[in-house]
Amino acid sequence: MHLRKILMAWSLFAVVKIISGAEVVRPLLVEIRHAPEALIAADGVKAGSGRFSFDSYDRERVLSVVAGNVLTLASREELALMKQDGLEVVVVMESEDKLTLIKRALYGEKLQLDPIYHRYDQIVRRADELAKAYPELITRLQIGETTQFHQPIYAFRLSNNVTRLQERPAVLFDGCHHSDEVMGAEIVVALMEKLVAGYGHDHEVTGWMNSLEIYLVPVVNVDGHNVVTSGHDPRWRKNLRDVNSDGVTGIYPEGVDVNRGYDFNWAMGGTDDPLKANYRGAHPFSESENCAMRHLADARQFLLSVSYHSQGEVIYYPWSWNGLPAPDDAVIKSIATDVAARIRTMSGSGTYAIAPGGPSSQSYPWFYGRRGDFDFIIETGKGSHLFPPAEVPGIIAANLEGVRALLAHAAGPGLAVQVTDANSGQPLVAEVWLPAIENEMVDRRHSDARFGRLWRLLKPGKHQVIVSCPGYRTVVVRDCLVGGNSWTPLKVELIRAATTP
- Alpha helix stretches (DSSP H) within 111-255: 120-133, 183-198, 203-211, 222-229
182-229 pLDDT, tens digit per residue, is 999 999 999 999 999 999 999 999 999 999 999 999 999 999 999 999
- Per-residue confidence (pLDDT) for residue 3, from 0 to 100: 44
Closest CA to 166 of 455, 458, 468: 455
Give pLDDT, residue 51.
Answer: 64
Pairing of strands 487-494, 414-421: parallel
What does the pLDDT average to over 74-97? 94
Among 359, 380, 409, identify where a domain stops. 409
Task: Give me the number of domains the chain comprises.
Answer: 3
Q: Give the pLDDT of residue 22.
A: 59
Closest to 127 (Cα-Cα) out of 35, 25, 219: 219
152 found inside a domain:
yes
Residue 67 confidence (pLDDT) = 87
pLDDT per position as a tens digit, 108-157 = 999 999 999 999 999 999 999 999 999 999 999 999 999 999 999 999 99
pLDDT digits (tens, 9 = 90+) for 364-400: 999 999 999 999 999 999 999 999 999 999 999 999 9
Q: Residue 143 is part of a domain; what is its CATH number?
A: 3.40.630.10
On whether residue 501 sits in a domain, the answer given is: no
- Same domain for 321 and 469: no
398 & 249 share domain? yes
Residue 289 has pLDDT above 90, yes or no: yes
Average pLDDT of the segment spanning 76-90: 92
In this model, does residue 12 exceed pLDDT 50? no
List the one residue out of 91, 73, 89, 80 whose CA is nearest residue 25: 73
142 and 125 in one domain?
yes
CA angle centred on 71, ends 219 and 177, rounded to 5° = 15
DSSP state of 202: S
pLDDT digits (tens, 9 = 90+) for 142-195: 999 999 999 999 999 999 999 999 999 999 999 999 999 999 999 999 999 999
Quick one: which H or E segment has residue 153?
A: strand 152-158
Are residues 405 and 312 located together in one domain of the fold? yes
Instruction: Indicate whether 45 pLDDT > 90.
Output: no
Residue 243 or 41, more confident: 243
Q: At residue 65, does pLDDT exceed 50?
A: yes
Residues 146 and 235 in one domain: yes
- Of the pLDDT bands very low, low, confident and very high (cuts 50, 70, 90), residue 5 is very low
The residue range of the domain holding 438 is 414-494
Same domain, 439 and 352: no
Counting Cα atoms < 13 Å in the Cβ hemisphere of 307 gives: 24
State the CATH number of the domain containing residue 433: 2.60.40.1120
Whether 112 maps to a domain, the answer reads no
Judgement on whether residues 487 and 362 belong to the same structural domain of the protein? no
The reply to whether 82 and 142 lie within a common domain is no
How many Å apart are CA 337 and CA 346, to the nearest integer?
18
165 and 207 both lie in a single domain: yes
Domain finish residue from 74, 107, 140: 107
pLDDT number for residue 500? 55
Confidence check: pLDDT of 244 > 90: yes
203, part of any domain: yes
Asked whether residue 20 carries a pLDDT value surpassing 80, the answer given is no
Q: What pLDDT, on a 0 to 100 scale, did the predictor assign at position 41?
A: 63
Residue 37 domain flag: yes
Residues 313 and 421 in one domain: no
394, 409, 424 - which closes a domain: 409
Residue 454 in this model has a pLDDT that exceeds 90: yes
The pTM of the whole model exceeds 0.85:
yes
Angle at 182 between CA 162 and CA 102, to 5 degrees: 165
Tally Cβ neighbours within 10 Å of residue 251.
Answer: 12
Q: In whole angstroms, what separates CA 157 from the centre of its chain?
A: 18
- 115 domain residue, yes or no: no
One domain for residues 96 and 74: yes
Same domain, 232 and 320: yes
pLDDT of residue 9: 44
In a domain, 197, yes or no: yes
pLDDT at 501: 55
Residue-wise over 438-457: b if at least 16 C-beta within 10 A, else e?
beebbeebbbbeebbbbbbb
For the chain, what is the mean pLDDT?
92
The answer to the question of residue 436 being in a domain is yes
Report the percent of the chain where pLDDT is more than 70.
92
Position 6 pLDDT exceeds 80: no
